[in-house]
Amino acid sequence: MVVPARPGPARPGVTSRSSSAVSVAGRGVPGGRRSRVVLSEAVGELTLHTDIPSRSEVEQLVSVRDPACVSIYVPTSVITAEARAARIELKNLSATAIGQLEAAKVDAAVVADVQEGLDGLVDDDEFWTVQARSLAVFASSAGLRTFRLPNRLTSAVEVADRFYLKPLLRAVTFPQAAFVLALASGSVRLVEVTPEGPAFTVDVPGLPRDAASAAGKSSIADRAPSRRIQGSEGQKVRLRQFARKVDQALRGVLTGLELPLVLAATEPMDAIYRSVNSYPHLAGPGIPGSPEEATDEQLAASARTVLDRLYADELTAVRELFDQRAGAGRASADVAVVARAATRGAVDTLLVDIDEKVPGFVDEETGAVELAADDAAGYGVVDETARRVLLSGGRVLAVRRPDVPGGGPVAAILRYAL
């Protein structure tokens, strides 16, 4: 069952030192996709402090079936000194989960394995020195996986034969985090933006200092011996060389991530960088004006405005498409209809209310919905519907109730009319 709990501290804080990928409870399972970037001199690898899962990682989680699947969400803080409250919360929720497993008569050896993993995580001092805004924990007889999330989530624990993923999907849908590339001919830096905490300049190996040094010149106005590179056109050639080297350096940090990259630059640097960029999640809107005099916090504030615009535009487009498709029988906000469509692989886009759970079962063959008590024997109908949409290649957006067309727990845009 899902157990609401007191929200954790929500004030901004300061970052703690970074560590390498964390092995949980001695099982050697990394903490997930990492997001705070520093260069570790000890191990020579990039380490990141938020673990926003990629789609492939979410698909791995939705594919798990195990009689002892435990899903726990705990609000945390970037302030290391505040970790104790989160550890106590995790310990309490873990005890609730173990009690539910025992009540469901799950094999004692399996319960012991799950408990060992959860206890090990609670006792892992190094793990708790590096946190984000929330922690998601997924434990089963096969092991344990954690994700440190930038979103502020409510405490919850769920026990079933599959993981409870709807809160995690919120972090994937709208992570409220991004990177800002502050780019000018005289300087460049990458800034990490979190929802509430302070912004940080990222250490990017191989990042050129400025356009002149990238070209091996004292100034981008220097002419080549052949005199072919001169004037404004010659400067644009130097700036394009600079932009390519910046893009190449960022690949080592951004490859595999799906966070938006917001560009802060003036013309012609803005257009030049966009013409050579290889990162697929470069945001269309940018931050106008020269970034050289702007602080990291000022850039972060501007980036959050860009993110709000991106997410609002995306939701507006989805709602408009839902209204268009509804008239042709290719959209529905009925839980039973949507569950059947998801079972048939007919859902293209699913919106789910992140805060509501509909306990029950969804038939494996027909998709028929059967409501049930909220206990370890059942699972969330909406969560299971989302799982089936993901496995069939559909898109799932976890949103607040006002953003769900029809005002119910789910709404779906279908690939074809049923």
Query: What are the residues facing 410 on neighbouring strands?
Result: 352
Averaged pLDDT of the chain = 84
Higher per-residue pLDDT: 156 or 356: 156
Higher per-residue pLDDT: 38 or 318: 318
pLDDT digits (tens, 9 = 90+) for 97-133: 999 999 999 999 999 999 999 999 999 999 998 888 8
pLDDT digits (tens, 9 = 90+) for 251-271: 999 998 888 999 999 999 999
Range of the domain at 393: 327-414
Both tokens of 150, joined, read 């930038």
CATH number, domain with residue 278:
3.30.420
* 210 and 235 Cβ atoms separated by less than 8 Å: no
So what's the pLDDT on residue 229? Answer: 52
So what's the pLDDT on residue 191? Answer: 96
So what's the pLDDT on residue 230? Answer: 55
Say whether both 264 and 333 belong to one domain. no
Say whether both 387 and 352 belong to one domain. yes
pLDDT digits (tens, 9 = 90+) for 146-181: 999 888 888 999 999 999 998 898 888 887 889 999
In Å, what is the CA distance from 181 to each residue of 137, 207, 266, 292?
32, 12, 12, 11
Say whether both 354 and 296 belong to one domain. no
Say whether both 166 and 197 belong to one domain. no
Share of the chain above pLDDT 90, in %: 65
DSSP letter at 405 equals: G
So what's the pLDDT on residue 48? Answer: 44
Over 50: is that where the pLDDT of 28 sits?
Answer: no
| pTM listed for this prediction | 0.72
Confidence of residue 377 (pLDDT cuts 50, 70, 90): low
Return the closest-CA partner of residue 179 out of 164, 171, 189, 169. Answer: 189
Say whether both 151 and 212 belong to one domain. no
So what's the pLDDT on residue 374? Answer: 65
Say whether both 93 and 163 belong to one domain. yes
Peptide bond into 268 cis (omega under 30): yes
How many domains are contained in the chain? 3
Over 60: is that where the pLDDT of 135 sits?
Answer: yes
Say whether both 292 and 333 belong to one domain. no
